[in-house]
Amino acid sequence: MDNGTTMTPRGFGLSLTWLVRLRWITALGQGLAILVAKRLLPDELTAWPLLCLVAFGALSNLALMARLRQPEPVQPALPGLILGLDVLLLTGLLYGSGGAANPFTAIYLVHITLAAVVMRGLWAWSLGALSLAGFGILFVWNVHIHSLSHMDHGGGDGISLHLVGMWVAFAISAALIAAFVGLITEALRQRDEELAALRDLTARQARLAALTTLAAGVAHELGTPLGTIAIAAKELLRSTEAMGLQGSSLALDAALIREEVGRCRRILDQMAGPTGTTQGEPFQSLDWADLEADLLEGLGAEDRDRLTFHWPSSPGGTLPRKGLARTLRALVSNALEATARPGKVQVSARLEGGSWTLGVADEGIGMTPEVLARVGEPFFSTKPTGSGMGLGLFLARTFAEQLGGELCVDSQPGRGTRVQLTWPQVAHG
């Protein structure tokens, strides 16, 4: 989990791949710079220790490439450790080539910028402090190169005022770069996250709109055939009743047909309605007793006894009551189906931190992580074919988001499932 001190897991592969390429370019540039400097200063510069440091950096890059090819996830600290190693290698190269008098000390600022872009928080500031310490050390300890020295850099005993000023200017520049680049990078990350969430919400709303149109069309087309079947079943029932005992079995079949037709009509009425949305529905005061009555409506005596309600003493505020009843009825239906009889299903509500949380907990077999990752997708269901459309959790999630809340599902194999619907106490002003 991202704790604010490392880059997001989503960016590991991209940042590390980009970092590997940048380190190859850096190693090549450092090698060429050392060779050119050796040619210009053949008697003052010892090149082979510096080339060894460049070679070590190249070997570490090969090791990093090998690590990226492995299937195991990359640790969040790895980019920071790589950048820290690069700061130490740069300090070593500058130590052997004139120290603070080397004009390439400005490359420290490049590393600080990289740390602010790739890492976050504590890591970025730690790498900035490491660069600052490395630059400060070069004022005291270095391999002196006369051709790179400045007339004001070494006068008298100790460090000159000019060197102190260079170090302070570097510290201020490093802090400003780390702060501003870090803020900009964090703002870009937040914008990307918000855009991704908005795209996801827009896609779900589009699916919901298509589902609403489809449901209304299906309800309209099936209404007439079901009405015909209901009339035929009613006539059949009258005929069998006139037959006495001989038509008793047929009467039961006719009654069953009428009952199932009525069930289909109720389902179609729900499909032809708002299909889980709250648009156009007035906000009303929520009474827990009325909500409980809505949930018990249409359930058999056995299922009624399996439900346990825990309502708070305070009223539930104002919200679309019909939409909440439809949403909660779907969750309760799923919980009853998932719990083997005579297992119980708990329905509870509580007000906490200015938000209402309504939970439905069952005693079923629970969900595997693979199934849990897909809950809420439209038309995804673990029920047998024909037993459900896989829309209950999708519509519940949409309902919660329209109220400014969210839907959370907690489930483990063998421990049942708990679905929580959360929305602000004051959904609309």
* pLDDT of amino acid 88: 92
Q: Where in the chain is the domain with CATH 3.30.565.10?
A: 284-424
* pLDDT of amino acid 59: 95
Predicted confidence band at 155 (pLDDT cuts at 50, 70, 90)?
A: very low
132-170 residues labelled b (16+ CB within 10 A) or e (exposed): bebbbebbeebeebeebeeeebeeeeebeeebeebbeeb
Q: For 58-65, what is the mean pLDDT?
A: 92
Does the model's pTM come out above 0.85? no
pLDDT in tens, 239-295: 877 776 666 777 788 888 878 877 777 666 655 554 444 545 667 777 888 888 888
- Residue with the bigger pLDDT between 229 and 241: it is 229
Q: For 375-385, what is the mean pLDDT?
A: 66
SS (H, E, C) 20-81: HHHHHHHHHHHHHHHHHHHHHCCCCCCHHHHHHHHHHHHHHHHHHHHHHCCCCCCCCCHHHH
Q: For 329-352, what is the mean pLDDT?
A: 85
Predicted confidence band at 63 (pLDDT cuts at 50, 70, 90)?
A: very high
Alpha-carbon distance values, 163 to 100, 129, 138 (Å) = 8, 18, 10
> Over the chain, what is the mean pLDDT?
76
* pLDDT of amino acid 272: 52
Alpha-carbon distance values, 178 to 73, 124, 174, 186, 262 (Å) = 28, 7, 6, 12, 68
* pLDDT of amino acid 5: 35
- Residue with the bigger pLDDT between 350 and 118: it is 350
Tokens matching residue 105: 């000390």
> How many angstroms from the chain centroid is the CA of residue 365?
26
In single-letter form, the type of residue at position 92 comes to: G
The answer, yes or no, to whether the previous bond of 71 is cis (omega within 30 of 0) is no
pLDDT in tens, 168-207: 656 766 666 666 666 666 777 777 787 877 787 677 666 6
Q: Picking from 195-209, 343-357, 402-416, which range would have the lowest pLDDT averaged per residue? A: 195-209
pLDDT in tens, 64-112: 899 888 888 878 788 888 888 988 998 999 898 888 777 777 778 777 7
- Residue 136 sits at φ, ψ, to 5 deg, of -65, -40
* pLDDT of amino acid 8: 38
Considering just the CA atoms, what is the radius of gyration of the chain in Å? 35
pLDDT over 70 percentage in the chain: 72
* pLDDT of amino acid 166: 60
Pairing outcome for strands 284-285 and 307-310: unpaired
Of 88, 53, 80, the C-alpha closest to 64 is 80
- Residue with the bigger pLDDT between 158 and 284: it is 284
* pLDDT of amino acid 234: 80
Confidence check: pLDDT of 408 > 50? yes
In single-letter form, the type of residue at position 128 comes to: G
* pLDDT of amino acid 173: 63
DSSP tag of 287:
-
* 284-424 CATH pick, 1.10.10.10, 3.40.190.10, 3.30.565.10, 2.30.300.10: 3.30.565.10
DSSP tag of 391:
-
* pLDDT of amino acid 7: 38
Confidence check: pLDDT of 324 > 50? yes
Q: Is 191 exposed, middle or buried (0-12, 13-18, 19+ CB in 10 A)?
A: exposed
Confidence check: pLDDT of 313 > 70? yes
pLDDT over 90 percentage in the chain: 5
Alpha-carbon distance values, 155 to 158, 159, 160, 231 (Å) = 8, 8, 7, 110
Alpha-carbon distance values, 417 to 152, 343, 414 (Å) = 74, 13, 9
Calpha distance 194→36 (Å, rounded): 49
Predicted confidence band at 58 (pLDDT cuts at 50, 70, 90)?
A: very high
- Residue with the bigger pLDDT between 209 and 287: it is 287
Confidence check: pLDDT of 52 > 90? yes
